[in-house]
Amino acid sequence: MSKKRPPGMSGDKKLAVFIEAGKRWVFASALDWPGWARAAKSEGLAVAALADYLPRYLPIVAMAGCAGPEGVLAITERHEGLAKNADFGSLGEIAPSEGRPLGADEAARLAALLAAAWTAFEVTAAAAPAELTKGPRGGGRDTAQIIEHVLSAEVMYARKMGLPRGDDGGDASAGVRQRIVAALGEPASVVAPPKGWPVRTAVRRMAWHVLDHLWEIEDKSGRT
């Protein structure tokens, strides 16, 4: 018996997927839907995990005011070579198509999805217990540590986009999200530094990171 597809996973339209393969882990990312990315031990399993997570991603899409993904997941691009970050549980590569020009309408859509991910994370973290379920060896962060980790990481992500450090009174994380959203309002003005990320890559990476930790909080607080 074939596995039932989640809502939206039907029809002839293709939902572009980018593959980043390490030696042990493979990431599959829906290129037009920042934050919708999952990892598994093989390419096929990673795409299957991506499909399985669509019901958890759809509330973000709705919060952003966007129509949901329609079509079938299809691998359209692969990172050539070893994706070293994949084995450390992280996205890290740039899809070739992510370097193409980003228009104002698409940038606004990406900004809305990213902002929705941030809002959902804040709501989930605020309602979560202070202590989260730990791994079999006692590993893992508690809620406050995850919040701090997400915020501090976004400071680095903003720099990878090419955004200057803001005057935030010594708190590097304060105001960084506002600067990111402001930059997405003028995508042509954003110039990535050497070894930085194009805007599309940066948004995909940021949204994945915040949603991955949102779902971690949900899973470890028994809210799924």
The per-residue pLDDT for range 25-58, each reduced to its tens digit, is 999 999 999 999 999 999 999 999 999 999 999 9
- Residue 73: what pLDDT? 97
Q: What is the mean pLDDT of each run of 10 residues along the chain (224 residues)?
A: 45 90 98 98 98 98 96 97 96 96 95 97 96 78 95 93 71 79 92 94 97 96 72
Indicate if 117 and 64 belong to the same structural domain. Answer: no
Would 2 be classed as within a structural domain? no
CATH label of the domain that carries residue 88: 3.30.160
Indicate if 113 and 88 belong to the same structural domain. Answer: no
* Domain end marker among 52, 68, 93: 93
Would 6 be classed as within a structural domain? no
Q: In terms of C-beta density within 10 A (0-12 exposed, 13-18 middle, 19 or more buried), how is residue 161 classed?
A: buried
Indicate if 113 and 197 belong to the same structural domain. Answer: yes
- Residue 136: what pLDDT? 66
Q: Which of 213, 219, 177, 222 is nearest to 37 (CA)?
A: 213
* Domain end marker among 41, 63, 93: 93
- Residue 139: what pLDDT? 72
Q: How far is CA 219 from CA 49, 99, 143, 177, 212, in A?
A: 15, 34, 12, 25, 11
Indicate if 88 and 175 belong to the same structural domain. Answer: no
Indicate if 107 and 212 belong to the same structural domain. Answer: yes
Indicate if 201 and 155 belong to the same structural domain. Answer: yes
- Residue 138: what pLDDT? 58
- Residue 2: what pLDDT? 32
Q: How many domains does the chain contain in total?
A: 2
Structure token digits, residue 95: 């899809």
Domain that holds residue 78: 14-93
Q: Which phi and psi angles does 67 have, rounded to 5°? A: -70, 145
Would 69 be classed as within a structural domain? yes
Indicate if 149 and 197 belong to the same structural domain. Answer: yes
Indicate if 55 and 70 belong to the same structural domain. Answer: yes
* Domain end marker among 93, 119, 144: 93
Indicate if 28 and 107 belong to the same structural domain. Answer: no
Would 156 be classed as within a structural domain? yes
**Is residue 47 a contact partner of residue 17, using CB atoms and an 8 Å limit?**
yes
Would 56 be classed as within a structural domain? yes
Indicate if 146 and 206 belong to the same structural domain. Answer: yes
Would 141 be classed as within a structural domain? yes
- Residue 166: what pLDDT? 65
Q: Which of 139, 147, 93, 158 is nearest to 122 (CA)?
A: 147
- Residue 173: what pLDDT? 67
Indicate if 54 and 114 belong to the same structural domain. Answer: no
- Residue 140: what pLDDT? 86
Indicate if 61 and 126 belong to the same structural domain. Answer: no
